Amino acid sequence: MIKKMTKLRGIKLASIKDTLIDMKNLSELMVDLAYSSVLFNNKEVAEEVLKLENKVNGFNYEIKMQSLIAARSIEDAEKLTPLLEIAEAAESIANSAKDIADLVLKGLKPHPVFKMVMEESEEIVSRTSILNGSELSQKSLGELLLNTRTGMKIIAIRREESWIYGPNRDTILFEGDILIFKGTETGSVILKKLTNNEMSLDDI
């Protein structure tokens, strides 16, 4: 639909499309971080989820405003309705992630059953530190191709007192970085061995 509707009453739908992409990426990241915050009882990560929720809400408001400007007829409104519904759904996901993170900020510790559920799910969330001697140090995620090699996706990096959320292929890893990642149990074992200098990339 977006490809067919390159313009609508003078406004480029590319801007709405780009905003929807941002909403999708942020809401997905929020879910991962929210579960991570509960699993590791980490208030810093939980607080970041709340910040991201504000961004998603802002994006949804922006899409509504752009759509109001674009729609000049009933036909225009009908064409834009699916996009508005997607934006609302993405915001609902973000709001639910915020509710999960709120549990940590309220001081509620995760029940042992929660950890069991996370461990038995198809995708697990875990963390590891890059130790001295690991060949992952001082290389970018694009160079390492960890997602392809191990099946694990790095969703956040803690570097001393700061956090990097949703790192991209240009993000460089350093000794001492704490990685929060998700993927399969087998991939988790491999990634931890790589960060602990117990395995080489050539061994994969």
Q: Which of 70, 105, 140 is the last residue of a domain?
A: 105
What is the rounded distance in angstroms from the CA atom of residue 165 to the CA atom of residue 52?
10
How does pLDDT run across 105-126, given as a tens digit for each residue?
Answer: 999 887 888 878 776 777 888 8
Is 2 within the bounds of a domain? no
Q: How many domains does the chain contain in total? A: 2
| CA 185 vs CA 9, 12, 122, 127: distances in Å | 51, 44, 8, 12
190: CATH: 3.30.70.1450
CA distances to 2, 54, 94, 114 from 161, in Å: 42, 23, 25, 27
Q: How far is the C-alpha of 164 from the C-alpha of 37, rounded, in Å? A: 14
Domain check: are 16 and 99 in the same one? yes
pLDDT per residue over 63-96, tens digit each? 988 888 777 778 877 888 888 999 999 999 999 9
What does pTM read for this prediction? Answer: 0.72
Does residue 38 lie in a domain region? yes
Q: Which domain holds residue 53?
A: 7-105
